[in-house]
Amino acid sequence: MKIDDITVRPMTRSELDTAVEWAATEGWNPGLHDADIFWQTDPDGFVTLERQGEMIGSGSIISYGGLFGFMGFFIVRPDLRGSGLGTSLWYKRKALLEARLQPGAAIGMDGVFAMQPFYKKGGFVFSHRNLRMECKNKLVRFDEKMVKHYSEDKFEALLKFDTAHFGFERATFLRAWLSSQDHHTFYYEDEGLVKGFAVIRKCLKGWKVGPLFAETSYIGNQLFAALNTVPLFETIYLDVPENNPDAVEMADTYEMQESFGCARMYAGPAPRLPWRQIYGVTSFELG
């Protein structure tokens, strides 16, 4: 089989469902409504590897206003791995994403640890590890006067907080993420100011937290305690940035166990983010 026999082209909406199914098979445990939200965020941000009319690979090339890009969903059908197809797909989609971005804009990604040498060859530099931690839900008391359920009138305040912690505005994504079915959002408010917020969503297995942004360790713990009230006797997953020791300590407090992880890497200038206020990243697919 020749590598030239393949095509990298825009993905259709139904093919994104296939990519999510592949992600589930890989053990990535996507959310029940991830495909719908991801498509709303950037319908031009997904590509498929096609051979003779058949989808054999996938990848995302998400652009946040041309200012920042994110690559994810890098999957080649298992029976075709080791043939060079993945390498061809990866470089072609990186070039496609670069064409969607302003000159000099950075690209981020969360890659499995074993693939770091490959991504390094492609121009990516290691930043830190994001560790997937898990535990059964634990009911811990929290201040219900300060921690509140999200309502639409708080969107602009949460968007401002999200932009400061993600590094770039993602209003379309965030609006869908906060209000989707099977997503529950809490925020911490002090004297009328949002000091943190967090989302927990139903996944194929258990519930996944992301993001969890908080100005202090106390607020982060308060929000995580509130999130624990959503699942009943189910597993909770939190993708903890290892470069935030307070987040690691919080996971230890809840006796969470590491079950997976990815290396956060950047091509181009890494955004300067307040990592000490990031307790859980949003997703490995969109950043």
pLDDT (tens digit per residue) in 215-269: 999 999 999 999 999 998 899 999 999 999 999 999 999 999 999 999 999 999 9
pLDDT (tens digit per residue) in 72-111: 999 999 999 888 898 999 999 999 999 999 999 999 999 9
Domain with CATH 3.40.630.30 in the chain: 3-129
- As a whole number, the mean pLDDT across the chain is 95
pLDDT (tens digit per residue) in 107-130: 999 999 999 999 999 999 999 999
Higher pLDDT: 2 or 273? It is 273
pLDDT (tens digit per residue) in 5-35: 789 999 999 999 999 999 999 989 999 999 9
pLDDT (tens digit per residue) in 39-72: 999 999 999 999 988 999 999 999 999 999 999 9
pLDDT greater than 60 at residue 148: yes
Q: pTM, whole model, 2 decimals?
A: 0.95
* Residues 174-203, mean pLDDT to the nearest whole number: 97
Q: pLDDT over 70 for what percent of the chain? A: 99
User: Up-side HSE of residue 143: CA atoms within 13 Å toward CB?
Assistant: 11
Distance of alpha carbon 28 from alpha carbon 230, whole angstroms: 21
The pLDDT assigned to 2 comes to 43
8 Å CB contact between 188 and 197: yes
Domain with CATH 3.40.630.90 in the chain: 132-263+271-280
pLDDT greater than 70 at residue 1: no
CATH code at 3-129: 3.40.630.30
Q: Indicate the pLDDT class of residue 4, thresholds 50, 70 and 90.
A: low
Q: Say which CATH class 132-263+271-280 falls into.
A: alpha beta
* Residues 205-213, mean pLDDT to the nearest whole number: 97
The pLDDT assigned to 251 comes to 97
